Structure 1
Amino acid sequence: MHVQRPAPALIDQVRVDYLVFDLLAVDDQVLLEDPYRTRRAELADLTLDDGERVRGPPMWSLTETGAEELLRVAADSGLEGIVCKRGDSVYEPGRRSSAWTKVVLRLTTEAVIVGAVPGNGANATTFGGLVLAGHTPDGRLRCIGGVGTGFTAASRRNIRAALDRVRRETSRSTTHRRRRSRGPRGGSSRCSSPTSSTARSAATACCGTPVSGGSVPTRHPTRSACPARAKFGRTACARHCSP
């Protein structure tokens, strides 16, 4: 990514394909105001697809193929999702038209809030991020990472109030050892305290790879692979990852 002048070795190593899915002009004819289905027909007439490095991705109509089927195929192909476009939509330079809808495939899992780190600035009175854990096959809690975005100001206040009600001095996560008596005060399956003495102590508990296939690995092969390190700093994985 972002290599302006790739060396021949890099070109040989990394395959780059050109996928053409829209056509804005042909010679001196500007097609911005033409309907999308017309632009796609013009694109097909150019026969740019060589079956190798230059390809024109197919276009399906929801009247013929259901959205659920398209999402299933996208998931099976390892794609990010699908983009739904109205056939009569024009091309609007510089903005994503409301006639185009991107449907992103998201992998989700349930997690337990076991701690929090202090916030700064506008979040100083609530929390900076939540420390999350998942259940291992034997029922223990294993920290799997953290989340600090996606909250409204109101939700942060509500979560902080809930955290304060169940705060405790010990951690519910059973797969780490703390170096200090104070640390991330783990909570129940609901929440834990955001008022740990330092962000470092809260982060120390947060170590583990994301849940995959219903299980949680026991440790990271390297510290650089640790999501806690990226989220909360190097202290987060000091007790659990190899140097």
Structure 2
Amino acid sequence: MPGDATPRGSRGGSRAQQVAAEIEARILADHLSAGSRLGLRTELISRFEVSPSVMNEALGILRERDLIAVRTGPNGGVFVANPPPQVRLGGVDLWHQGLTVDPEQLLEARTYLDALFPPVALQRASPEDVRAMEWALHDMQAASDDPRAYLDANMRLHLAIARASRIEVLVGLYQTIVSILGATLTKATYVEGSEELRRHNLDVHSNLVAAIRDQDAVALEKILALHRQDMVRIA
């Protein structure tokens, strides 16, 4: 699918890593729940046209990540264990793996901080801070076919706003949240039919940067209200 972020391990790597990535991609694409049966080990060997040793290595990779379980016996086979949780943000579907908390909780915390930093950044942002925001905004605008790049640029934009606030303790917390979300993201895809929502989202962020640059507190208040409405609509 155009715009899909490729699962980890599918670019290059060993054949076992590629098979593991393809199995993970199926779990994600089909929204398979825990307990869903993927097939017998022999069936997977035939389906992927690999040797038993390669399949064993691929299944080992997925077991280590707690994505699949292998059961023996008459009703055995390969089953989904703990599929990556999916959330939706700004017209983008996200899947995370390896989090010890619900990703929605991290995104909610990030959303509250995103509303806190801009009014302070408006008063304290340096020209260098504004340039960092504008670079990240440009990267968002250029990522029409790459949802992962779009999200990375979005997080860099809001991190630049956070840093411009100079509230160091909260900036450190925010950076930790952003780092965790980025490191655990395994797939990102644009939601079908979300083009208008993304255009609106880009307009909101463009106006957000402009309000901070121009120190326009009235415009900023209106833009933050639109930003909050977006978050409610797409949560």
Whether the TM-score (by the shorter chain) exceeds 0.5 is no
TM-score tier by shorter-chain length is under 0.3
Considering Cα pairs closer than 8 Å and 6+ residues apart, tell me whether 1 or 2 has the greater RCO: 2
Q: Which structure has the highest helix share of the two? A: 2
Q: Which structure has the highest strand share of the two? A: 1
Q: When the two structures are superposed, what TM-score results if normalisation uses the length of structure 1? A: 0.26
Bigger Cα Rg: 1
